[in-house]
């Protein structure tokens, strides 16, 4: 990679630390644009002295965004939120910010821009999260048509917010949820026609993708000499498709707890999310409950990791490397006897 100056918005998050680590190893000079630089100091040791700098920027503010991209050759936008809190709203962070960053990047003469959206980002999405992501893609294309857009599925890795959440739940709860729809299915009996409940539990399908593969995709786009990915959209998923039941079974297996898999109707998930979203650090929201209803898969005929020369890592290979920490502590009897 020739000498690049890369501004990374939202670089202090889960995906950001992996992206910055890869870019640093490739020799890029990196500016990490975050709201609170004093909380992102742990990123600097990932590179050489002076290679990674932290700058204050708010994606809701034109002036700070312009300062962050000035003199940069490349811009990466990772800014995103899972739930709304205070002034951090989906409309501002997901829908408006990409256009603001794109306009500033175009004005500053940036060579290439990468924007991270999400699988399922469509204008008619039921969740505000996915709908706002789609609006952000449209705004970005208008401001910076040659931007490369990446749509990762549910990302897994050491610090992920999905498998770690359910692994922690498995330690304290005797059950793991299987979110489901309950439909009324007609059934004919001798006495007449009856409607009986039919439960389809844990059937939502997902295609989890390793965070390192997503980071590698960005590093390869930044490293392209001819900017072959300009204006393209990639959907990033793992090599295998799982339903929600299979993922919960995997969590139970790796944590080594015998847990009941209990169907939880979507309307119950809606109620749980409604009340949980008012917690200081919500672990589940009403909007996330809506997202659980829809499959989260790479679309047919779309550009994927393979188009960037990346072989996707299977979840079965990676999850055991960090999910074991949720297992019950066991004392080795021989060691205890010697002590």
* Predicted pLDDT of residue 65: 98
What integer is the mean pLDDT of 38-55? Answer: 96
Give tens-digit pLDDT for 222-255: 999 999 999 999 999 999 999 999 999 999 999 9
DSSP-assigned letters across all residues of 19-82: HHHHHHHTT-EEEEEES-GGG-GGGGGGSSTTTEEEEE--TT-HHHHHHHHTT-SEEEE----S
244 touches 202 (CB < 8 A): yes
- For the chain, the distance separating the N- and C-terminal CA atoms, rounded to the nearest angstrom, is 54
Task: Kindly report whether the global pTM for this prediction surpasses the value 0.85.
Answer: yes
CB atoms within 10 A of CB 123: 10
* Predicted pLDDT of residue 180: 85
116 touches 234 (CB < 8 A): no
Q: How far is CA 82 from the centre of its chain?
A: 9
Give tens-digit pLDDT for 149-168: 999 999 999 999 999 999 99
Average pLDDT over the chain reads: 91
H or E stretch at 306: none
Give tens-digit pLDDT for 278-301: 888 888 999 999 999 999 999 999
Q: DSSP letter for 90, please.
A: H
93 φ, ψ (degrees, to nearest 5): -80, -40
* Predicted pLDDT of residue 201: 72
- pLDDT exceeds cutoff 90 at 209: yes
d(CA 270, CA 290): 7
The domains found in the chain, sorted by start residue, are 5-156+207-239+296-312 (3.40.50.720), 163-203+242-292 (no CATH)
């Amino acid at each position: 990679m020739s000498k690049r100056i890369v501004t990374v918005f939202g670089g202090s998050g889960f995906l950001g630390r992996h992206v910055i680590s890869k870019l640093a190893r490739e020799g890029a000079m990196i500016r990490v644009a975050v709201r609170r630089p004093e909380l992102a100091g742990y990123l600097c040791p990932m590179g050489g002295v002076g290679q990674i700098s932290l700058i204050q920027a708010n994606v809701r503010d034109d002036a700070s965004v312009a300062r962050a991209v000035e003199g940069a050759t490349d811009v990466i936008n990772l800014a995103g939120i899972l739930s709304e809190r205070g002034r951090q709203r989906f409309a501002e962070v997901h829908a408006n910010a990409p256009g603001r960053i794109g306009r500033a990047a175009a004005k500053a003469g940036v060579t290439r821009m990468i924007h991270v959206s999400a699988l399922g980002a469509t204008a008619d999405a039921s969740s505000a999260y996915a709908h706002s992501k789609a609006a952000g893609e449209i705004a970005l294309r208008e401001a910076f048509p040659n931007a490369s857009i990446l749509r990762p599925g549910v990302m897994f890795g050491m610090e992920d917010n999905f498998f770690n959440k359910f692994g922690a739940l498995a330690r304290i709860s005797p059950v793991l949820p299987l979110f489901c729809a309950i439909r009324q299915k007609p059934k004919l009996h001798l006495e007449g026609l009856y409607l009986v409940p039919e439960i389809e539990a844990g059937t939502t399908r997902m295609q989890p993708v390793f965070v390192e593969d997503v980071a590698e995709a960005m590093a390869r786009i930044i490293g392209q000499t001819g900017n072959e990915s300009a204006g393209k959209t990639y959907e990033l998923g793992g090599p295998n498709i799982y339903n929600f039941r299979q993922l919960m079974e995997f969590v139970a297996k790796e944590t080594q707890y015998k847990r009941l898999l209990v169907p939880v109707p979507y309307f119950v998930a809606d109620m749980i999310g409604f009340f949980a979203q008012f917690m200081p650090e919500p672990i589940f929201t009403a909007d996330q409950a809506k997202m659980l209803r829809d499959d989260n898969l790479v679309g047919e005929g779309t550009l994927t990791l393979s188009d960037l020369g990346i072989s996707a890592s299977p979840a079965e290979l990676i999850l055991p490397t960090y999910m074991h920490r949720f297992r019950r502590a066991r004392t080795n009897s021989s060691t205890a006897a010697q002590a």
